């Protein structure tokens, strides 16, 4: 059987195009493995060796965490997740707010962090915090369980943001919300390395691409954005993002 020159040429071009598409897909996978997601470079996960920084004396003054906790309006008996809990700076506070009938699922990918958290809880007689050892892709959280999931300065370090957001989405009950807290990239006065900051626009882009909608925000933190997200099929109404403005954030 003989092929015409035209058919042979078309076959060669198709093979080249197919090879190019394959190479492009391979390049995209390599780029993702190199630590990029939706145009953002992923920061390295903080090691448990630096855990003391999470409970440094100056954190109360620098970040004013009580403002964040007040904005959540937590109620006794609620089920709350603390994703990337570290040694429990927020998990212990959350445990007091939800009370003995509530529960805090403290999630981290480092067993050493969970061991530090457990020791701090035992020293304080706290029994409603459940440590959860996650993997880089699997949160190990129960489905449809949580009223709130708190992520403080951790999302930008997730090695696989899309997979983790899928897991978190499943863990929320129909009215459940995610409180995403990140140092403001738009604010050059925030003394944090650029790789450990996120802009409002980037956070909104990534979460809405993974099945979430913006349902609120809190702009009263000294250094951080606080954005509230729910599942995109939640009965909670979505809201428009109010862009951060340096002038509006200046103290009177």
Contact assessment for residue 99 and residue 167, using Cβ atoms and an 8 Å cutoff: no
pLDDT of residue 47: 75
The confidence score (pLDDT) of residue 8 equals 39
* Structural domain spans, the chain: 5-34, 43-249
Query: What's the rounded Cα separation, in Å, for the pair 115 and 251?
Result: 40
Encoded tokens for 126: 């706290």
Q: What is the DSSP letter of 188?
A: T
Residue 78's pLDDT is 98
CB-CB contact of 240 with 217 (8 Å): no
Superfamily of domain covering 43-249: Vaccinia Virus protein VP39 (3.40.50.150)
Alpha-carbon gap, residue 94 to 167, rounded angstroms: 21
Question: At residue 63, what are phi and psi to the nearest 5 degrees?
Answer: -110, -20
Query: What pLDDT score was predicted for residue 57?
Result: 81
How high is the pLDDT of residue 43? 92
3-state secondary structure of 65: helix
State residue 247's pLDDT score.
67
Look at residue 118 in the predicted model and tell me its pLDDT. Answer: 97
Residue-level pLDDT, tens digit, the chain, 252 residues: 444 544 434 443 434 344 444 443 444 444 455 699 999 999 988 777 677 768 788 889 899 999 999 999 999 999 999 999 999 999 999 999 999 999 999 999 999 999 999 999 999 999 999 999 999 999 999 999 999 999 999 999 999 999 999 999 999 999 999 999 999 999 999 999 999 999 999 999 999 999 999 999 999 999 999 999 999 999 999 999 999 987 665 544
Q: What angle do CA 141, 145, 151 make, to 5 degrees?
A: 60
């Amino acid at each position: 059987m003989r092929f015409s020159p035209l058919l042979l040429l078309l076959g060669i071009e198709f093979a080249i195009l197919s090879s190019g598409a394959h190479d492009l897909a391979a390049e995209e996978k390599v780029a993702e493995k190199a630590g990029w997601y939706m145009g953002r470079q992923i920061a390295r996960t903080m090691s448990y060796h630096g855990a003391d920084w999470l409970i440094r004396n100056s954190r109360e003054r620098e970040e004013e965490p009580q403002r964040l906790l007040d904005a959540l309006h937590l109620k006794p008996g609620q089920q709350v997740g603390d994703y990337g809990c570290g040694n429990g700076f927020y998990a212990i506070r959350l445990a007091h707010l939800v009370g003995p009938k509530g529960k805090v699922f403290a999630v981290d990918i480092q067993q050493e962090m969970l061991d530090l958290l457990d020791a701090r809880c035992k020293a304080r007689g706290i029994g409603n915090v459940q440590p959860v050892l996650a993997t880089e892709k699997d949160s190990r959280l129960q489905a449809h369980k949580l009223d709130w999931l708190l992520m403080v300065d951790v999302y930008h370090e997730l090695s696989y943001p899309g997979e983790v957001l899928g897991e978190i989405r499943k863990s929320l009950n129909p009215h459940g919300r995610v409180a995403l807290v990140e140092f403001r990239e738009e604010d050059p006065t925030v003394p944090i390395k650029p790789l450990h900051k996120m802009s409002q626009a980037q956070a909104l882009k990534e979460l809405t691409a993974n099945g979430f909608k913006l349902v609120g925000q809190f702009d009263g933190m000294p250094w951080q954005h606080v954005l509230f997200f729910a599942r995109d099929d939640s009965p909670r109404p979505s809201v428009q993002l109010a862009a951060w403005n340096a002038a509006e954030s200046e103290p009177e």
